[in-house]
Amino acid sequence: GAVVSQHPSWVICKSGTSVKIECRSLDFQATTMFWYRQFPKQSLMLMATSNEGSKATYEQGVEKDKFLINHASLTLSTLTVTSAHPEDSSFYICSADKPADTQYFGPGTRLTVL
Amino acid sequence: KQEVTQIPAALSVPEGENLVLNCSFTDSAIYNLQWFRQDPGKGLTSLLLIQSSQREQTSGRLNASLDKSSGRSTLYIAASQPGDSATYLCAVTGGATNKLIFGTGTLLAVQP
């Protein structure tokens, strides 16, 4: 197996502020990481693919200027929700692609925007 | 566009029963299929991974089958226990990328 962590596990913020979520692969290097969003009682929806050293690839309908992704090292990707609004409240989950293996998922971050 | 559907959406069974969860996908050109478990408010735990060339995988009381040509997979849980209560998600990977397309999920409740 492999371990992926996320920080914070939960965050509450005021509308209009920005929130940064970190995703770390603790025991392997990941060239590619993925960010998902999950609304209550719904499945996971892929938001973007984060590639180390290059720009992220966003899925259709996901605003890249609102959800900023930075994959600055082989063990860290960050997702920044800029000017958050209540409709951005969701469960955000990242995964890291372990080479010659599979994706390993983080524990998720619960974002609540007031 | 790949679409993944799971039936039933919710299932409640008494402890000890054997049960089957279903997953169907519209594009049979997949690389692999995975079954995950998600506890409330938590991340995902991978249960079984079936490569496209395989027909089934087993782990303990879990058995997953794959029929790629018909676009179906089943997850069989033997002798269910209350601790099996969770949401079960299937996901497929296909094409040149390693993107996972998730199904709609089945919420399982095993009654003691």
SS3 at position A110: strand
Digit-coded pLDDT (tens) for B84-97: 999 999 999 976 66
Q: How confident is the model at residue B67 (pLDDT cuts 50, 70, 90)?
A: very high
Q: How confident is the model at residue A102 (pLDDT cuts 50, 70, 90)?
A: confident
**Nearest residue of A to residue B90, measured between CA atoms:** A43
Q: What is the mean pLDDT of residues B97-107?
A: 88
Percent of chain A with pLDDT strictly greater than 90: 80
Q: How confident is the model at residue A2 (pLDDT cuts 50, 70, 90)?
A: confident
Residue A6 corresponds to which tokens in the numbers above?
Answer: 């996320």
Mean pLDDT, rounded, of chain B: 93
For an interface test with B, the pick among A98, A103, A109, A112 (most B C-beta atoms closer than 10 Å) comes out as A103
For an interface test with A, the pick among B4, B39, B100 (most A C-beta atoms closer than 10 Å) comes out as B100
Mean pLDDT, rounded, of chain A: 93
Q: What is the mean pLDDT of residues A81-100?
A: 94
SS3 at position A77: strand
* Distance in angstroms (rounded) separating the CA atoms of residues A75 and A50: 11
User: Do A102 and B102 count as a contact with CB atoms less than 8 A apart?
Assistant: no
Q: What is the mean pLDDT of residues B46-52?
A: 93
Q: Compute the 3-state secondary structure of chain A and give helix, strand, coil in percent, each to the nearest 5.
A: 5, 55, 45
Residue A59 is given by DSSP the state P
